[in-house]
Amino acid sequence: MGSRSELLPMIRQSFVIIIMLAIVSWFLIVWDSSPQSFLPVDKTKTTASDSIESYMTGVTSRRFSESGGELFLLSSTRMEVFSGSSALKLSEPKFLSIIDASNEENKRASFAANWGFLSDDGTFFTLNGDVHAVITGSKNQSKIRSELLNYDSKNMLISTSRPFTLSMPNSSISGDSLTADLINEVFTVSERLKANYDAI
């Protein structure tokens, strides 16, 4: 009886040691694994020239003027850098641009898209998919919808050569080409223009 009672603590101790070794081994495997190994593999075909070099998820970025005023706010569920390219690919980007931070008119433009690209200097956006833009001017609010929009944040210009719809209070315009000067609040449309006006 005495020998059996002495063996029980030794068996328990050995069992605990085995469990601890298993936990430590698993922890070391997880620790040495790269973060990419825990993310689902993208099964889309890519070539060597557009392979992902690095990425971040849940990105929020702000840019301020020299006087401290906010120029834009950018958020994206995923931001990717491809080898051989200086542009950033954005997934589900949402972008808010302050048109003129020096005045109190609260002029701004906001964008939402399925995906897009941002130039390396942070001034030029190409937005793709179901793109929505809301432009708040000094007097009116306008909305643009298209499958592609380009935005030059330095010169405050929106452009597209794809079919679009421009909605304004009491009217809407559809066409195949659009340029919007946000500073001067001037919209230039051309090619297969169609306009609807709702009388007050």
pLDDT in tens, 58-69: 988 887 767 776
Instruction: Identify the domain containing residue 187 by its residue range.
Output: 44-197
pLDDT tops 80 at residue 199: no
Residue 28 sits in the same domain as residue 78 = no
Residue 164 sits in a domain whose CATH number is: 2.60.450.10
Q: Tell whether 38 is covered by a domain.
A: no
As to burial, measured by CB atoms within 10 angstroms (0-12 exposed, 13-18 middle, 19+ buried), residue 113 is buried
pTM for this model (two decimals): 0.67
Give the SS3 label for residue 47: coil
CA distance 129 to 116: 8
Count of beta carbons in the 10 Å neighbourhood of residue 97: 24
Q: Tell whether 39 is covered by a domain.
A: no
CA distance 179 to 150: 9
The number of distinct structural domains making up the chain is 2
CA distance 179 to 106: 21
**Residues 173 and 144 sit within 8 Å (Cβ to Cβ):** no
At residue 102, the pLDDT reads: 60
At residue 64, the pLDDT reads: 75
At residue 27, the pLDDT reads: 43
